[in-house]
């Protein structure tokens, strides 16, 4: 089979996992929040499913699919934030073999046109590191995730169907050879210890 035959069958594209040969999905934090997450929460679908909806907490980071749209080292996902306890605000970030732990405070994501003009905060970015084992006795790994969500205005922002959008997040999983706080939204990274 020739190179083109691997990707094409007649005039129709065969592999649904990779949108287009040569295509690289590398959105900025602003694009992930203002376009992809906002459209998802407003129930405005995009013709090509670049970001899949997966409960990442049901999987260890190495078992999650690396999307062809982000290269073999990263993946982007939509995921509902679960709660540790029924009436608690604490998120449940436990997986089968470990847990995700926040590394600091949320960082604001600003609209480029908002910087210097009222500093329009359009989202929040949280960096998390994966630990294998149980809380308190876990071993820090080199997997990292960036979690994005929309900011809460007076407690709750609602979509058309009144779902609390602060519970919806886009996550990017990245398996790279070095630690880098990139501009990618929702980023899990495996690399050297940091």
pLDDT of residue 131: 95
pLDDT at 181 over 50: no
Q: What range defines the domain where residue 41 resides?
A: 23-174
pLDDT of residue 177: 34
Q: Residue 151 carries which DSSP code?
A: P
pLDDT of residue 51: 86
Residue 101 pLDDT level (bands cut at 50, 70, 90): very high
User: Within 13 A of 89's CA, how many CA atoms are on the CB side?
Assistant: 4
Q: Average pLDDT in the 5-23 region?
A: 55
- Length of the chain, please? 194
> Can you tell me the distance from the alpha carbon of 148 to that of 125, in angstroms, rounded to the nearest whole number?
5
Write out the DSSP string of 113-139.
Answer: GGTTTT--EEEEEEEEEEEESSTTT-E
Q: Average pLDDT in the 123-143 region?
A: 91
Evaluate whether residue 39 is within a structural domain: yes
Give backbone dihedrals phi and psi of 149, rounded to 5 degrees, phi first: -150, 165
Residue 183 pLDDT level (bands cut at 50, 70, 90): very low
Contact 149, 135 (CB under 8 A): no
Of 147, 182, 150, give the one whose Cα is nearest residue 27: 182
Evaluate whether residue 129 is within a structural domain: yes
pLDDT of residue 7: 43
pLDDT of residue 159: 39
Q: What confidence tens digit (pLDDT) does each residue in 153-172 have?
A: 633 343 333 333 333 455 55
> Can you tell me the distance from the alpha carbon of 127 to that of 12, in angstroms, rounded to the nearest whole number?
40
The two tokens of residue 187 are 């980023």
pLDDT of residue 98: 95
pLDDT of residue 135: 85
CATH number at residue 50: 2.170.150.80
Evaluate whether residue 180 is within a structural domain: no
Evaluate whether residue 183 is within a structural domain: no
Evaluate whether residue 62 is within a structural domain: yes
Evaluate whether residue 83 is within a structural domain: yes
Write out the DSSP string of 58-93.
Answer: GS-GGGSPPPGGG-TTEEEEEEEPPBSSTT---B--
Overall number of domains in the chain:
1
Of 41-50, 117-126, 133-142, 178-187, which one has max mean pLDDT? 133-142
The two tokens of residue 138 are 């876990």
Evaluate whether residue 145 is within a structural domain: yes
Of 8, 95, 16, 101, give the one whose Cα is nearest residue 60: 95
pLDDT of residue 119: 63
Of 73-87, 148-162, 164-178, which one has max mean pLDDT? 73-87
Neighbours of 138 (CB within 10 A): 16
Q: What is the mean pLDDT of the chain?
A: 71
Evaluate whether residue 124 is within a structural domain: yes
């Amino acid at each position: 089979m020739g190179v083109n035959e691997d990707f094409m069958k007649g005039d129709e594209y065969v592999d649904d996992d990779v949108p287009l040969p040569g295509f690289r999905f590398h959105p900025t934090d602003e694009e992930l929040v203002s376009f992809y997450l906002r459209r998802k929460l407003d129930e405005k679908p995009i013709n090509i499913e670049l970001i899949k909806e997966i409960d990442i907490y049901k999987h260890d980071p190495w078992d999650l699919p690396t999307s062809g749209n982000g290269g073999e080292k990263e993946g982007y996902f939509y995921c509902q934030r679960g709660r540790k306890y029924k009436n608690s605000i604490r998120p449940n970030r436990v997986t089968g073999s470990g847990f995700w732990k926040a590394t600091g405070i949320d960082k604001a994501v600003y609209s480029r046109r908002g910087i210097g003009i009222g500093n329009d905060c359009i989202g929040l970015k949280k960096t998390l590191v994966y630990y294998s084992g149980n809380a308190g006795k876990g071993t820090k790994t080199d997997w990292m995730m960036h979690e994005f969500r929309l900011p809460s205005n007076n407690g709750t922002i609602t979509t058309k169907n009144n779902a609390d959008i602060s519970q919806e997040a886009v996550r990017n999983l990245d398996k790279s050879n070095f630690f880098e706080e990139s501009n990618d939204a929702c980023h899990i990274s495996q690399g050297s210890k940091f």
